[in-house]
Structure 1
Amino acid sequence: MQSNWQHNTRNTLKGANSCNDFFQSDQFKDRHFPIKIPLEFANLIDKNNPD
């Protein structure tokens, strides 16, 4: 991560809904543990790969 933590916190996918919207899927579910994926890493994920 090249940025500071405040920048990464603001630019993070938070929760199942934002993850499903970003990845155009319904694989993420809201559970007890929060989902947080920095956009810097999310942009590296191949959205065309179902695995």
Structure 2
Amino acid sequence: MDPLADSSSSRKGKGKKKPRTPPEPQTPPQGTRETVFGSDTSLSPIFSRLPSPPLSK
């Protein structure tokens, strides 16, 4: 019975991990949004720097 409980526990853990996968994909979208924000901020300085040199010229 002990080995069966272990197997059930291992299987339950895997099953819990599967349902966690769907909610995980929703988390990546938020992470992507943060990345987009980071890219925007990074692009902002780059864009500002690009027009700066041409303006100086």
Q: Please, what TM-score do these two structures have when normalized by structure 1?
A: 0.24
TM-score normalised by length of structure 2: 0.23
- Tell me which of the two structures has the higher relative contact order, counting C-alpha pairs closer than 8 angstroms and 6 or more residues apart: 1
Larger Rg: 2
Structure with the largest fraction of strand = 1
Greater share of helix: 2
